[in-house]
Amino acid sequence: MQMLYPKLRQADILVLATPVYIPLPGEMQNLINRLCPIFEPILRWRDNRTRAKLHDDVNIRKIVLVSTSGWWEMGNFGTLVHIVEELAKDLDVEFAAVLRPHAYLMEEDSKKTREVNNALKRAGEELVKKGRIPKKLLNVISQPLVSEEEYRLSWNAAYEKLKRKEKN
Ligand SMILES: Cc1cc2nc3c(=O)[nH]c(=O)nc-3n(C[C@H](O)[C@H](O)[C@H](O)COP(=O)(O)O)c2cc1C
């Protein structure tokens, strides 16, 4: 972590990339906890909440969450988005989220997965060049690849098949 603090001070955008693990992996929570030294502990009252701010020598102006989830719906990101958005609010910086649900299907090569991958590349370029990602690109990245029912039925069928194979 000591190696990261100088980089964190220089960066203008902090990208936190993590899968959803009910709600996040312990390693990512540890990293978030260890961001404390870049906060200046002067309490402020903002948006009806106690908030802090970054030390003056920290340049971060935006926090971007990049995440994947296993299940179909966007609701799986709810807790994680809340955690990282609150962090951004505490530090008085902008927040954005790049979210890819039912990410297992991204292993398949299809018109839609290619569209998502292209949008992801463009989102990275826009973030670096302009400091923001257009909403249109975020929607392409998060688009459903199949219907919820299709996903659930094929997932359950694959699991049942595996279970039968293990029994024999
Ligand atoms: C311990 C664990 C917990 C998970 N919890 C969730 C969850 O609550 N909701 C969800 O949609 N996916 C969940 N997933 C699926 C992951 O989000 C999915 O595997 C991930 O996006 C891909 O990252 P991976 O390469 O680490 O599997 C979980 C996976 C693991 C291993």
Q: What is the CATH number of the domain that holds 55?
A: 3.40.50
The whole-model pTM stands at 0.95
**pLDDT at residue number 47:** 87
Maximum C-alpha span of the chain: 64
Pocket of ligand 1 contains residue 25 by CB under 6 Å: no
Q: Is 67 in the pocket of ligand 1 (CB under 6 A)?
A: no
Residue 70 CB less than 6 A away from ligand 1: yes
pLDDT tens digits in sequence order for the chain, 168 residues long: 899 999 999 999 999 999 999 999 999 999 999 999 999 989 999 989 999 999 999 999 999 999 999 999 999 999 999 999 999 999 999 999 999 999 999 999 999 999 999 999 999 999 999 999 999 999 999 999 999 999 999 999 999 999 999 988
Distance of CA 77 from the midpoint of ligand 1 (Å) = 11
Rounded CA separation 39/58 (Å):
9
Nearest CA to ligand 1 atom 30: 21
Instruction: Count Cβ atoms below 10 Å from residue 154 Cβ, excluding itself.
Output: 12
Q: Which domain holds residue 133?
A: 4-167
Residue 88 pLDDT? 96
The confidence score (pLDDT) of residue 65 equals 98
Measured by CA distance, the residue closest to atom 27 of ligand 1 is: 19
What local confidence, expressed as pLDDT, does residue 35 receive? 96
Tokens describing residue 133: 């990602």
Ligand 1 in reach of 71 Cβ (< 6 A): yes
Cβ–ligand 1 contact at 103 (below 6 Å): yes
Q: Are strands 49-54 and 62-68 parallel, antiparallel or unpaired?
A: unpaired
Q: Which atom of ligand 1 is nearest to the CA of 67?
A: 21
Q: Which helix (H) or strand (E) holds 29?
A: helix 26-33
Q: What's the order of all strands across the beta sheet hosting 94-100?
A: 13-19, 62-68, 94-100
Distance of CA 79 from the midpoint of ligand 1 (Å): 13
Q: Cα(11)–Cα(144) distance, rounded to whole angstroms? A: 33
State the total domains in the chain. Answer: 1
Q: Which ligand 1 atom is at minimum distance from the Cα of 22?
A: 8
